[in-house]
Amino acid sequence: MRNAIQLHPKDNVAMCLSEIKKGDKIILNEDVLFSAQDDIPFAHKISLSDLAQGEDIIKYGYSIGKATCPIAKGQWVHVHNVAGGKRL
């Protein structure tokens, strides 16, 4: 059963559909893709790929901010490693 959802095909983050514990397998569309690198609260974001410092965080197909440090695939993406983007 999937535990995260990619909301738009261009997104480089997914939203967690339940609380995720470090080491849990992340499942999108019935496929195990990778393991979580952090504990991630329900409805928070997880990185779908390695992201470089300064790279756009894409959710809903749009940039919602920039990585303030490198973010590894499977890490929690939140205010501790993202600077907010422009409001639409």
pLDDT in tens, 57-77: 999 999 999 999 999 999 999
Residue 48 CA to residue 72 CA, distance in Å, equals: 8
At 86, is the pLDDT very low, low, confident or very high (cuts 50, 70, 90)? low
Residue 74: alpha-carbon gap to chain centroid: 7
pLDDT in tens, 4-24: 999 999 999 999 999 999 999
Topology given in CATH for the domain delimited by 4-84: 2.30.130
Instruction: Say what the pTM is.
Output: 0.91
pLDDT at 28 over 80: yes
Domains of the chain, residue spans: 4-84
